């Protein structure tokens, strides 16, 4: 069970609040080891330890007018970073009795970095990257959630619909308090649906985004970016199956990326889950070959500690003809 650090405060700076707000600090840290071997002399293998630390901070309560609110941020540290990489996502969210939520911030809105495929642990894209940093497979179409914007989510009996609007696509980090900067860029938007359509056991994810090209480039044929994601899964009880597809028209007019991911999981017990997955990544380039991956996964839930074992077999890794790689990884996640 996740332990939570809770406290209340009636004073922020010199401003006294009329009601108490509850704060929560939670997070996780991950440790892992991965190794891979190339299937020919020209393809080098990799091996090594990896880690990640994340701290999530939030406060929630109710405004004087009865509207519920939540606000927070996350700090993340990956790999060899000696300090936190900054606020991964700052946000303020207002919740209304109508089932509407309005979120202002970045990196916390429902977004297209998602799919409907069941997994026994980490995503297949993460497991592939553990065998080499240049793997191609992505499951989201250049999602804009990392830029500052406003997202409105409406809950229905069928699922949640989110519209995320970003005034400037490159406004991703923000400036320090009381500091101004000339941030330029075109707006973009993303629309997403996630829900069960009123059917128990069903999970549907669908969405699209529009990303007008910003900037000037000489001698390169460019266009506006556009991405789509759709997929579904169904849980039969101990067995779940699903498929998800992604297509991304990149701003480079000659390149379109497509990914198809399929997966099935079996709950061997209330602690152990076994999964199989297959992924194919295609890119419209005469120099790139289709990247194909098979994965076997075992997840073991120990409550505050989760252990997972992954084995992947990758054909044409990173789109390179004949670059076939197989590898395994062990990840542990500790929650607090």
Condensed to tens digits (0 to 9), the pLDDT of residues 103-151 reads 999 888 999 988 899 999 888 888 887 776 556 777 788 888 888 999 9
Q: Which of 97-106, 143-152, 174-183 has the lowest mean pLDDT?
A: 174-183
What's the domain range around 111?
A: 5-335
pLDDT in tens, 279-334: 998 888 767 788 899 999 999 998 889 999 999 998 887 767 777 888 899 999 99
Instruction: Please give the angle made by the CA atoms of 158, 66 and 23, to the nearest 5 degrees.
Output: 85
What is the number of domains present in the chain?
Answer: 1
The answer, yes or no, to whether residue 275 has pLDDT greater than 90, is yes
pLDDT for position 122: 86
CATH of the domain at 277: 2.40.160.10
Distance CA 167, CA 147 (A): 9
The answer, yes or no, to whether residue 213 has pLDDT greater than 80, is yes
SS3 for 317?
helix
Question: What is the length of the chain?
Answer: 336
Distance CA 26, CA 74 (A): 10
CA distances from 130 to 20, 37, 251, 326 (A): 44, 12, 28, 11
| Structure-token pair, residue 239 | 């067995």
């Amino acid at each position: 069970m996740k332990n939570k650090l809770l406290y209340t405060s009636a004073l922020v700076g010199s401003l006294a609040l009329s009601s108490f707000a509850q704060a929560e600090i939670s997070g996780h840290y991950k440790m892992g080891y991965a190794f891979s071997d190339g299937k020919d002399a020209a393809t080098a293998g990799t091996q090594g330890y990896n880690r990640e630390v994340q701290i999530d901070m939030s406060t929630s309560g109710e405004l004087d007018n009865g509207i519920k609110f939540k606000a927070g941020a996350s700090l993340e540290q990956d790999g060899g970073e000696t300090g936190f990489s900054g606020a991964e996502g700052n946000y303020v969210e207002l919740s209304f009795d109508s089932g509407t939520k309005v979120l202002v911030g970045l990196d916390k809105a429902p977004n297209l970095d998602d799919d409907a495929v069941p997994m026994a642990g980490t995503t297949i894209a993460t497991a592939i990257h553990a065998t080499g940093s240049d793997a191609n497979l992505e499951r989201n179409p250049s999602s804009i959630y990392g830029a500052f914007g406003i997202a409105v989510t409406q809950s229905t009996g069928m699922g949640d619909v989110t519209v995320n609007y970003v005034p400037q696509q490159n406004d991703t980090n923000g400036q320090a308090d009381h500091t101004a900067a000339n941030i330029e860029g075109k707006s973009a938007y993303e629309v997403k649906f996630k829900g069960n359509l009123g059917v128990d056991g069903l999970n549907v994810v669908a969405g699209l985004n529009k990303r007008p090209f910003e900037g000037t480039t000489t001698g390169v044929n460019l266009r506006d970016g556009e991405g789509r994601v759709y997929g579904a899964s169904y849980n039969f009880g101990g067995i779940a199956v699903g498929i998800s597809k992604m297509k991304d028209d990149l701003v480079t007019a000659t390149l379109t990326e497509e990914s198809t991911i399929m997966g099935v999981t079996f709950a061997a017990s209330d602690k152990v889950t076994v999964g199989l997955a297959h992924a194919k990544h295609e890119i419209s380039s005469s120099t790139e070959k289709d990247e194909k991956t098979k994965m076997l996964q075992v997840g073991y839930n120990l409550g505050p500690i989760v252990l997972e074992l992954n084995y992947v077999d990758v054909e044409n890794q990173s789109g390179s003809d004949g670059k076939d790689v197989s590898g395994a990884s062990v990840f542990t996640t500790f929650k607090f």
